[in-house]
Structure 1
Amino acid sequence: MRTAQLATALTGLLASAAAQSSTEPGYDAYPNYIPSTIPSNETLSFGQHYAVLNLDLINGLVAPIANTTEGEAFISCTSKWINAVAALTPKPLTFFSRIYFSNSHNPEISDSTPFKNVGGSLGTASSNATMIYPAFHVNETAGDVVIQKTRYYAGAGNGLEEILRAQRIDTVVLSGIRTSGVIISTAYRLFDLDYKVYVIANNTIETPSDKPAINTNILEGILPKVPINVITIEQAMAALNASGPAIY
């Protein structure tokens, strides 16, 4: 009887601890509990030479998931982050990437280009599908940089790396769609270029959005092994207050 009571009590304590940890600020990443690579009790700072990369937040990719539970959470967290960054004075270097082609002939790809099967139907700069989704606000007057890309990697065929070098950036913070595309390819490439890379877990999503296992496996298993830092929206927002002032 005593053993059974102890077992019941222990089970209750473990369940309580699990419930507390899953809602602890710094460890909330919808739809699954994704532990951050940075302990929640550790003060996180991006320093002063950091850049914010908002990747492929275009109508053609965001609109199909916008009315799903996962998509709504992704849009809410990502727009909250973009707005918080925009409110900083001085504002850090901020990029938005768009996938589009130079003209209707899509000269950047051919029939044999693997990326054609992924983004070949999106269109040119004037196509609605290639424009930034309305929930995400771009302010080029305030210094936001919009870059064209025609591959997964955010720096493919544009001035991303040149700008990062010119502005003496040493840290990048990534958000975007989709995790198995632009996020993982950009995180790997910039890590290899010796940047400190942070990926905001809440601000990533896989498509279709009802396939959270892929997203979780990348954020919880693959990226931390590189190692690339995976953080949550709570940690990212707190880091804005602990960082800077940004130099740009």
Structure 2
Amino acid sequence: MKLQASIFTLASAYFASAQESTRPGYNCHPTCIQPTIPRNRQFNFGRHYAVLNLDLINGIVGGVEETAAGQAFISNTANWIDAVHALDPAPLSIFTRVYFENSFQPEIGPDSPFGQVAGDLGTAATAPTKLHPAFTVDQAGAGNVVLQKTRYYAGAGNALEQILSTQKIDTVIMSGIRTSGVMLSTAYRLFDLDYNVYVIANNTIESPPNDPDINANILEGILPKLPVDVITIEQALAALDRSGPAIYGRNN
């Protein structure tokens, strides 16, 4: 089996208990998101796929981690990342961090609209820009990639598009925070670049201040019209297990 038995057992137990309390089911906080692919339809991600884990940094995740929805989001996303790492060979996984080159923030300047959103995050050395400890990054063993970015789009100011192209990626599976920011911006751009895009509904969330309808409107209304596939964490894990051995790096 491609998933290590211990990871699969833990994930199965987690999901069994979750059903009793509407989890996993950030997609039921407060609205259950209907996936674009019927729950009984089997599908896979092929072999040329990449996993994008976007903006899972302290300064953004910290705004939701004390809420029930935030805790479910963190747990779902961490379980997904661990399941991806358990594959052998591991697929390409890319994490993004928002930070600026120095305290002068040359990437945004004093009048940049994005500065109003992210100007307080700081440089690579500051705690708010570091990846949240709930999420495991394996750069040495699995070849995970961590990219700086300086706008909403995951490829702003970095080598994301070059990496995806060089690695012959045709499908991306996205998790991250927030739905109306990095997730929506990146889904549009990668769709325009002809990638097959999947968004895991359980693995995205809005940051405060939050209108509870924003997340549902994007996941059920906007993204499916592109069309981008919006799936549940259960569907994502099942598709991961059905996918062929990932082609990445030396296996390319």
- The reply to whether TM is greater than 0.5 is yes
2:174 — aligned with what? Answer: 174
Question: 1:42 aligned to 2:41?
Answer: yes
CA RMSD of aligned residues (A): 1.8
1:30 — aligned with what? Answer: 28
1:30-50 CA distances to partner (integer Å, 9 max, x unpaired)?
312111000111112000000
* Paired residue type of 1:224: P
1:168-214 CA distances to partner (integer Å, 9 max, x unpaired)?
00000000000000000000000000000000000000112753210
Q: For residues 155 and 91 of structure 1, what CA distance do their matches in structure 2 show?
A: 22
C-alpha spacing 1:232/1:118, structure 2 compared with 1 (3 Å): same
Q: Which runs of 5+ in 1 are unaligned?
A: 1-22
State the Cα distance separating 1:111 from its structure 2 match. Answer: 1.5
State the Cα distance separating 1:244 from its structure 2 match. Answer: 1.7
Question: 1:143 aligned to 2:137?
Answer: no
Partner of 1:146, secondary structure, is strand
| Further displaced range: 208-217 or 106-115 | 208-217
Pair member with larger Rg: 1
| Further displaced range: 206-215 or 157-166 | 206-215
Question: 1:231 aligned to 2:235?
Answer: no
Q: For residues 28 and 163 of structure 1, what CA distance do their matches in structure 2 show?
A: 31
| Further displaced range: 112-121 or 50-59 | 112-121
Q: Is the 8 A contact 2:23 2:72 kept in 1?
A: no
1:208-227 CA distances to partner (integer Å, 9 max, x unpaired)?
27532100000000000111
1:77 — aligned with what? Answer: 76
Partner of 1:162, secondary structure, is helix
Q: Is the 8 A contact 1:26 1:40 kept in 2?
A: no
Q: Is the 8 A contact 1:28 1:232 kept in 2?
A: no
Aligned residue pair count: 226
1:111 — aligned with what? Answer: 110
1:97-126 CA distances to partner (integer Å, 9 max, x unpaired)?
000001111110112211000101100001
2:196 — aligned with what? Answer: 196
1:44-85 CA distances to partner (integer Å, 9 max, x unpaired)?
200000000000000000012101011001001000000000
Q: For residues 53 and 160 of structure 2, what CA distance do their matches in structure 1 show?
A: 12
* Paired residue type of 2:146: V
* Paired residue type of 1:191: F
Moved over 6 A (4+): 23-28
Q: Is the 8 A contact 2:22 2:28 kept in 1?
A: no
Q: Is the 8 A contact 2:176 2:203 kept in 1?
A: yes
Question: 1:122 aligned to 2:121?
Answer: yes
C-alpha spacing 1:24/1:235, structure 2 compared with 1 (3 Å): farther
Q: For residues 77 and 28 of structure 2, what CA distance do their matches in structure 1 show?
A: 12
* Paired residue type of 1:111: P
Partner of 1:48, secondary structure, is coil
C-alpha spacing 1:49/1:26, structure 2 compared with 1 (3 Å): farther
Partner of 1:84, secondary structure, is helix
Q: For residues 29 and 193 of structure 1, what CA distance do their matches in structure 2 show?
A: 28
TM-score when normalising by structure 2: 0.87
Q: Is the 8 A contact 1:57 1:133 kept in 2?
A: yes
Q: Which runs of 5+ in 2 are unaligned?
A: 1-20
